[in-house]
Structure 1
């Protein structure tokens, strides 16, 4: 069993029939947060209370639908255009099934199905889809495509993944950690791998939730310099630590959560041989965990390859990867509900 001491002291009051690890009482600024009509291209644009509100709504929907068996047609009569330039398992399935479960109609569109950027400008596509749907989610190669969509769309736009950010993944990661540890503030997350879009989203979010971030990337694979500077400002603002190194064991030292991702993203296949060489020594193993906190856990956004993390860690009780994958559904549902309705959670507020 992992230590729950940290979680216990995060709790303000014990509520009857509700786990003390996950909830707190009282009303805060979270009650007044309203995100209707907003777009989510990056969590850089969302404040601390806004991110917490999204996680609270997501956990509430999960509890009411999965555990209480309620049917909540919150998006009945609404539709979403799902644009996919890149293949996907979790993003497609979580969005498509989640929107349908809430009573809405999802429309899956690949680059072979629509004219995005080919025969029709992104501007025209945004205007057309705005007249036909209530929400647009786009999983694209270039972040600039999302910015163009948002500029000319009259409905909210969600980043389903771009070369710069992957915000919906990070919402699922932090919901998973909140469920497991009971609260987020004071946790240390260690990223060991590529300085990619997922790491960028961690860097724009962790400090706002009181989470310390330790990052190890090989030389030449560091995160974007501008994002690093913004993350340093956020860490100073929220009183958290941001530590960057090229030594994986140094990054893992004392950490509660070890995280990695693919070393070869879609579109980088020609770089595979060189990347595998450059990332030598970055595989997460039980030896990596030996220098982490006794309660350490493991996250990976999937799909996973063995060079990134060995089977002993990946399939161990410390691995939260399949709960993390499931939470992609609840967090995208929470996000879509928050952007399209004024939904108010019914369960007690989460403890952060």
Structure 2
């Protein structure tokens, strides 16, 4: 049994297998009900649009069932140990998607779960989104190995997953971020990613430029300070001109127009954001099939 808590839970070959199957399902609109009789539990502590809908639709299209359970309506870590709840839930379903404030919750749940556990987003990482991003890159630019990818903005859960992806899929990652928001020295020293405050140099000749909000859920009280510090780290058409002519732009959404991106960036000819959003559905089909049928 395999969990998907971080990208590094899988090998590069396994990720490529998932992406290949996702791409094939997307093209063929395969009606085969591969997951008939399977049940997916979605247990979320944080609000969600794309993650929830894409997993529910994916299970339905693959012949299975999915139900959404807000943590506020469950005794998850309240009244009984989290591990006890996890044992019971996993005995009744075939897989669990957890979206939590703390990654430790996912680790604890997975440690006793009898079925695959998927990280639907945590404070540490967002591996499901990276599958969609990788799929979008493959469809537009081909093999990502050796390519230059640039992350612009806050070091957050998405940035962490990009670091993992760069090591697994062997691409060059440049991270343009204000120095005071860089991660711990241990992370920088153990990563092949290049951290810099020189945004134009980071984007220069990139194949992909990507970003995320400057203020993540739970950090709203820092909005004023962060928006001021990150102001020069906005992705806009002028910045994209430093990238390769055929470079693409991605954003995991939701986006704050006028902040981390200019008002018109999502509509720029280099943007593949809407395609990227749809690919959450297809990438997660590939993931579910990998976890539940292999």
Q: TM-score normalized by structure 1?
A: 0.81
Equivalent residue number for residue 222 of structure 2: 271
Q: Which has the larger radius of gyration?
A: 1
Match of 1:112 among 49, 63, 72: 72
CA distance in 2, matches of 1:95, 1:320: 21
How far the C-alpha of 1:295 sits from its partner, in A, is 1.2
The answer to whether the Cα contact below 8 Å between 2:179 and 2:196 also exists between their aligned partners in 1 is no
Matches within 5 A, 1:124-143: 124-143=84-103
CA distance in 1, matches of 2:18, 2:248: 23
Matches within 5 A, 1:251-290: 251-290=202-241
Equivalent residue number for residue 124 of structure 2: 164
How many residues in Structure 1 have an aligned counterpart in Structure 2? Answer: 293
CA distance in 2, matches of 1:224, 1:256: 27
How far the C-alpha of 1:186 sits from its partner, in A, is 2.6
CA distance in 1, matches of 2:76, 2:197: 39
2:78 maps to 1:78: no
CA distance in 2, matches of 1:250, 1:244: 11
CA distance in 2, matches of 1:226, 1:295: 34
5+ long unaligned stretches in structure 2: none
Equivalent residue number for residue 2 of structure 2: 38
Equivalent residue number for residue 17 of structure 2: 53
Match of 2:194 among 216, 236, 243: 243
Match of 1:324 among 257, 276, 282: 276
The answer to whether the Cα contact below 8 Å between 1:58 and 1:330 also exists between their aligned partners in 2 is yes
Equivalent residue number for residue 315 of structure 1: 267
Moved more, 133-142 or 306-315: 306-315
2:164 maps to 1:201: no
Equivalent residue number for residue 287 of structure 2: 335
Equivalent residue number for residue 212 of structure 1: 172
Could you list the runs of 4 or more consecutive aligned residues of structure 1 that deviate by over 4 angstroms after TM superposition?
none
5+ long unaligned stretches in structure 1: 1-36, 233-241, 343-352
Higher helix share: 2
What are the superposed Cα offsets for residues 293-333 of structure 1, whole Å, 9 maximum, x if unpaired?
11121100000011111133221121000000000011111
The answer to whether the Cα contact below 8 Å between 1:200 and 1:224 also exists between their aligned partners in 2 is no
Q: TM-score normalized by structure 2?
A: 0.96
CA distance in 1, matches of 2:26, 2:180: 40
Equivalent residue number for residue 298 of structure 1: 249
CA distance in 1, matches of 2:264, 2:104: 39
CA distance in 1, matches of 2:185, 2:10: 20
Matches within 5 A, 1:77-96: 77-96=37-56
CA distance in 1, matches of 2:82, 2:27: 38
